[in-house]
Structure 1
């Protein structure tokens, strides 16, 4: 009986070749006892990888970076960043590793990278470059949920337990996450290039980003201005989508703002339960800089830092470059407002052609009621379609101001909202914080049942299914206040 040859996996090194000043060749640390815990088989097939091979020893070697294909050049990437408003000129991949770029069957170039694969030259202080199992599983769950919601995001291919404990507050089981991205270029990449004072490096980086993510900019009269405007538009759309589903990123530093417009770095992230713009889940965000309601403002601030990095490419004279940057950045708020307003129209099932002022007043009044009542965002919007079908309104009982919500519902029903359209955009299931914690707590003991049930729910978020009622329900009162920790 013949045995099929192992598949050929080719990883190119375009980033490292074109921008060697920003790439340090490096190798992952060996994993003492690697055990594949979760594999994203649909994503593997999308990338042209054989899931059965990935489950074998050679595949696990790829997923931990200890057995990379011949010719691959893994690198740690250099970047800078504003972290909570303070600039750090040299951050980089302290515990991440870009294995290389895959070309998928559709011809798209995708980064394959690792998190938790060991210390690199960019590791800060006493950091060991390793990662604990819990944060890697959190990123897997939440990033795949975001993808299923239709929100641009990096993807999670696999989580492998390493068999090596890592020390945080206590000893915790270690793991490596294999992450797939359109690229890992970020605002911080441009800040790093600008900080070197090498304008040629900055130009090559910008041209690399144009070719990879925004090729239409190459044909514009001012390609680098067009690049900036494309990133502004992508980020405005992205953050509006976060806000519409109640996603709180938690650490919107400039090194976590992608040029592609994908969500990246699922550290202290969470989804809203009670609606409150001041919500902060991150243990390290003591001032509320990255609160839910601040996310559009912070995104605009981060993009202003991107503009500063690009100034030498926007015009020959700095004053002229600043004028160009200010004008281009001015597109953020209209783009965000348009994306938010369009999203709210769809969530409310409003008819085409409805006057903008009527739609805006309806959504603004609803947000006031949601905030006053600290209403569960996901439950409210999903339950609202029942009211559009004439069913009793269960979400009414979530509000403190019953007269206010009754008046609002009467105005909304009078517009004949489309319940089917609402169900296509309002999820039944998001990664409920208490269920994420339940899954992460069970996994170190070898119980992956809660994790797989959660993944089953959130990767088909709009389809209500029997047996998953618990995954659609808010947290019990005993869950208490929720805090996340930046473990990634």
Structure 2
């Protein structure tokens, strides 16, 4: 199979036409391949080398359409920064269709493929800069084991695109079982279209949650399962210091997968109030706010599903799973990050004390947890790599003694603990400066850094001594980098 003859099944296109607009991508001139994810390619039955042909490149940018494809742009609405924004939709994304894989159906979508009826004031394009960021972060999150959409490829063109400056266009091929969002349901609720709302819910349940069809109230069961998945996903984000940056309801996947990589960021020096999105001037989507915003978004979905659920009490019961699910999952993840094999009284205070000292010293989040595995339970000998992360070393020493006592309390073995901790505390994450270096090289048609980072981030927990420079502190100039909703 090649990209040019994908056997698309077009499940979403089987819904009534009110759910989408069928249209072709707008061609881009002189396309060139920037990058391909080998693991994503194999997931959909492609050999990576086959995507380097000119025919494949034309397909991956949307200039050539497979015979079995029924390209379309979906309609949806949403709350943006907490305010109802009305109709949105795929303003620059075009769904090619879905194909069967060993892991179930997988939709392929072109992001940046041209104007659609939902483009509003936009031009329907994505730029090379944002496309590389989305491509790398999609695959990096997969490498970290976090639920996410995938990215198959990036193809560029020299066609100019106006943003803050003139940039060049690119298209990312994104992959997910579905790109249906919370806002997809909100669209029909706020437009008072109960029949369409039910059709969409029945489609999602039948295709992605078939076990829920036998529940007494399948729609309440759907809300509960989506709420659980969302809570777990955001717990994963918090545990690796990931910030989404624009958690609008139209950017929330009905499958609980990380969706729409725009102004994201991974934490450098720890600051619970850090805002990674320059457009977020009120800090709604700061690191510390992500868990509660996830809950808020589930409430927005619940409001949309209420006509189907029928009872406020059942709706509330479904939502009530969020906080305990998040708390349970983040607790498990943090215990694993600290190498604790049991839960004991006082662990909450130990964790709170850790984040207080990280906050006060703005210690590097990723480096701290990776180095923590080298701490010895017996005493402070060898603590220097950890102590050096803190301006207030006595404050760290005080916490470290409590941690050591906790380790000794469960007879923790240093070697076994280090092995386990290094499997959950990544050595490598996609810091903003790393993506920026790759982008600047790619803008000069040098794609070697994109390829290097892709390979690095597929194995974020491995030592990779040949890539040690990527595990160092970010350069000083990286603090001046700014990402926003513009792409």
In the superposition, the TM-score normalised over structure 2's length comes to: 0.94
SS at match of 1:349: coil
Q: Relative to structure 1, is the Cα distance of residues 8 and 176 closer, same or farther in structure 2, using a 3 angstrom cutoff?
A: closer
Which residues of 2 match residues 20-419 of structure 1 at below 5 A? 20-104=17-101, 106=102, 108-125=104-121, 127-315=122-310, 321-352=311-342, 354-355=343-344, 357-388=345-376, 392-393=382-383, 394-414=385-405, 415-416=407-408, 417=412, 418-419=417-418
Question: 2:425 is matched with which residue?
Answer: 426
SS at match of 2:126: coil
* Matched residue count: 476
Which is further off, 207-216 or 180-189? 207-216
Instruction: Give RMSD over aligned pairs.
Output: 1.7
- Mapped to 2, the partners of 1:10 and 1:387 lie a distance apart of 53
SS at match of 1:251: coil
- Mapped to 1, the partners of 2:35 and 2:97 lie a distance apart of 22
Question: 2:455 is matched with which residue?
Answer: 456
SS at match of 1:165: strand
Cα distance, 1:456 vs structure 2? 2.4
Cα distance, 1:389 vs structure 2? 7.5
SS at match of 1:172: strand
CA contact (8 A) 1:236 1:336 kept: yes
- Mapped to 2, the partners of 1:7 and 1:251 lie a distance apart of 34
Q: Which runs of 5+ in 2 are unaligned?
A: none
Q: Relative to structure 1, is the Cα distance of residues 273 and 5 closer, same or farther in structure 2, using a 3 angstrom cutoff?
A: closer
CA contact (8 A) 1:160 1:177 kept: yes
User: Is 2:476 the counterpart of 1:477?
Assistant: yes
- Mapped to 1, the partners of 2:195 and 2:306 lie a distance apart of 13
Which is further off, 459-468 or 263-272? 459-468
- Mapped to 1, the partners of 2:224 and 2:3 lie a distance apart of 44
- Mapped to 2, the partners of 1:389 and 1:150 lie a distance apart of 29
- Mapped to 2, the partners of 1:424 and 1:149 lie a distance apart of 10
In the superposition, the TM-score normalised over structure 1's length comes to: 0.94
CA contact (8 A) 1:314 1:324 kept: yes
CA contact (8 A) 2:3 2:51 kept: no
Cα distance, 1:187 vs structure 2? 0.3
- Mapped to 2, the partners of 1:148 and 1:339 lie a distance apart of 19
The one-character-per-residue Cα deviations of 1:135-164 (angstroms, maximum 9, x if unpaired) are 000001111110000001011100001231
- Mapped to 1, the partners of 2:260 and 2:376 lie a distance apart of 37
Which is further off, 250-259 or 440-449? 440-449
CA contact (8 A) 1:116 1:175 kept: yes
SS at match of 1:483: coil
Q: Which runs of 5+ in 1 are unaligned?
A: 316-320
- Mapped to 2, the partners of 1:297 and 1:482 lie a distance apart of 27
CA contact (8 A) 1:154 1:262 kept: yes
